[in-house]
Every structure is written in structure tokens, then in C-alpha cells.
Amino acid sequence: MIETIKETLNSNNAITEEVKENLLELIILFNDQFKDVDLTNLNERLKTLKIKRESMFLVKLPCKYNPFTNELLINLGLFEECDAKHWLMHCLLGIITAKDNYYGFAGSENTLVALNEGYTEIITNNLVGDVDNNFFTDEIIITNLISKAIGLDVLYNAYFKNDSKSVIRAMIEAEGK
């Protein structure tokens, strides 16, 4: 699958060669750690992915993935001062798990956005390391607490299958214990 993704990246004229190389490096890193995650959706989204500089008033983080428009939005002022590898991995996880206009287990109803960001950041930290100025400290703490109650396997499966309902069911079941 990595060779197919490499070909797809190379065919996308909206992305610079340098960014293609950086994304491929992160995709390989992800794939090495998460061999069981299907990368078909990633491959499809990479065909039309655009990277766009956005206003600091619209994007409050160094970068953010918009699954609805399939754009990686960059707040250049923050991006130049941050760990770019960390933030690209965070956004890449959004692309890998994107479905319609959401990613991970945030769901179309946006009920688990904080949990989703916390879990995304935990995976990012495990893959490329933590950053000094982490925007998601509270979300990470909440995610760790919830994982103790419902289990990491529930979060893992829900995140990569876009299944917010299984997380909510598991939290309701854990409440009764």
C-alpha cells in the first residue's frame, strides 16, 4: 500500500515535493506502528489534498485538517514556531481517519470532539514525540481517564472505524459498574 500512496502523492500537483517527502515519511512511520489500519481512505484523500495558508483568526492551531474540503490549513505564524513534524502527524491522522466532514470518532454529531483531539494527540505523541506547548493537555488527560474506564481497545477501534456510538455505549456501560 505504501507504494500506491507514494504514486498518489507524486501525482498530486497541489503539493510541493518537500511536503510530499515529509508526508510520506510520516505515513511510513504510522504504517510501521499501525499495520492493521487500512490506508485506502488516506490514499483517496491524498489524490485531491490541498495545502492552504489560512488566517490566524480562522485557524487557531499551527495547522488543522478540514475533512469537508480536504484541505490542510496552515497558520503560518504559529507553524513556523512549532514542531512541524508533530503538527503534520496530528493532521495526517485526521486525513487517515476522515469520513465525510469529520475524522476519528468525533462523529457527524460532533459529540466527542475533545476526546477525539485528545486521542489524536496521544497517538501523535507516541509516534513523533510530545511538544513543549501542547494545545491539548486537558483533552489528553480526559482521554486517559476515559480509556481507564472503557479500555484502550474501545478507543482504538472506534477511532479508526469512525464509530462514536461504540465509545458512548462503552461509557454508559462503564457508568453502571
The whole-angstrom separation of Cα 175 and Cα 168 is 11
In terms of residue numbers, what domain contains 39?
Answer: 2-175
Supply 102's cell numbers: 469529520
User: pLDDT tens digits, the chain, 177 residues: what are they?
Assistant: 889 999 999 999 999 899 899 999 999 999 999 999 999 999 999 999 998 887 776 767 778 888 889 988 888 666 666 677 888 898 999 999 988 777 887 766 667 888 988 999 999 999 998 766 678 889 999 999 999 999 999 999 999 998 888 888 898 888 876
Total count of domains within the chain:
1
Partner residues linked to 53 by β-bridges: 74
